Amino acid sequence: MLDVRRMKVLREVAERGSFSAAAEALNFTQSAISQHVAALERETGARLVERGARGVRLTDAGSALVAHTEAILTRLDAAEEELAAIAGLRGGRLRLASFQSAGATLVPQAVAVFHSRHPHVELGMVEAEPEQACDLLRSGEIDLALVYGHDSMPPSFAADCEVTPLVEDSYDAILAAGHPLAKRRKLSLADLAEEPWISSSIANGCRHITDEVCRQAGFEPRVAFEADETMASQALVAAGVGVTLLPRLALTSLHPGVVARALTDRPRRQIHAARLDSAYRSPACEAMLQILRDVAGEFSEASLELAAS
């Protein structure tokens, strides 16, 4: 393995044009410079410098090694600066993933708090369903993911992820304001058995939850429309073409043409922050995790009950 310190000496010799000038610049003796270069030549198995009447010049091998040295030293300097910055939350980067409804509610509040406290840390977010988010964690593309789970869902993030519970999120029935059932304050899932349904696409975890809880209530939902975007789903309900279930985290903005009704057998999903078990626990990640815990309290069952009523 090449010694970076000796590579740095060679670069100084190349820049100064002589061993004596390099020694002066590095506060070494000329003999020490000579020894470092000789040792580097032994490590590489190549002649790196040629001495002449006008000083020292690099061979082709020496020039190639100095070019690599520049790149290596630049990266090492950048690494040292970044590590120092991350240690004091004076820089660095934190990459998040979130599913849609948390990305529109919980995450923006957490990001705002984090940015006010640590303005020099670069934040980024992508939208992803839990299974995809965990793949991104495993690949190292993100540092922290907001995911959700339900008793009926396979634990896609259980095996190699550390999860921190944040909040429970209930599902409500969403009906057109003029629907006959809208007059009732509470419904059961069985009351919706004969209705056409607006559901998420198969790729969306909420579709799995909706299908499963309807089956547990004794019926298979008759899906007429698929819509993953929350407001699109509500707009279809407002048009009178079906009913749907939506989590309360997605109901902070309610379409004027719909009503949300609590269910006696309401489904609940659990929202977690997930990170890879083997990942480095950066100060930025730890800080964001604590902020997410704090902000999640504002989206508790009681506060979401008020928002959906």
Query: Of the candidates 36, 66, 87, which is a domain's last residue?
Result: 87
Looking at beta carbons, which pairs linking 28-34 to residues 24 or more positions away fall under 8 Å? 33/9
**99 and 52 in one domain?**
no
pLDDT at 303 over 70: no
Query: Of the candidates 87, 103, 129, which is a domain's last residue?
Result: 87
In a domain, 306, yes or no: no
In a domain, 309, yes or no: no
Q: What integer pLDDT is reported at residue 283 of this predicted model?
A: 87
Looking up tokens 């509500």 gives 234
pLDDT at 291 over 90: yes
Query: Of the candidates 71, 87, 103, which is a domain's last residue?
Result: 87
User: Which of 240, 247, 208, 215 minimizes the C-alpha distance to 225?
Assistant: 240
Q: What is the pLDDT of residues 180-239, one digit of tens each?
A: 999 998 899 999 999 999 999 998 888 999 999 999 999 999 999 999 999 999 999 999
**What is the pLDDT averaged over residues 110-121?**
92
CATH of the domain at 146: 3.40.190.10
pLDDT at 26 over 90: no
pLDDT at 94 over 80: yes
Q: At what angle do helices 19-26 and 30-44 cross, to 10 degrees?
A: 110
Whether the CB-CB separation of 157 and 270 falls below 8 Å is answered with no
CATH of the domain at 12: 1.10.10.10
Q: Which amino acid is located at 145 in the chain?
A: A
CATH of the domain at 208: 3.40.190.290
| pTM reported for the whole predicted model | 0.67
**148 and 282 in one domain?**
yes
Q: What integer pLDDT is reported at residue 302 of this predicted model?
A: 47
**Band of residue 98 on the pLDDT scale cut at 50, 70, 90:** very high
**128 and 181 in one domain?**
no
**76 and 24 in one domain?**
yes
Q: What integer pLDDT is reported at residue 160 of this predicted model?
A: 81
**Band of residue 168 on the pLDDT scale cut at 50, 70, 90:** very high
In a domain, 83, yes or no: yes
What total number of domains does the chain contain?
3
**26 and 138 in one domain?**
no
Mean confidence (pLDDT) of the chain: 88
- Domain extent at residue 103: 93-166+270-300
For residues 134 and 230, what is the distance between their CA atoms, to the nearest angstrom?
A: 23
- b/e 73-98 (16+ beta carbons within 10 angstroms → b): eeeeeeeeeeeebbeebebbebbbbb
Whether the CB-CB separation of 146 and 164 falls below 8 Å is answered with no
In a domain, 305, yes or no: no
In a domain, 65, yes or no: yes
Q: What integer pLDDT is reported at residue 205 of this predicted model?
A: 86
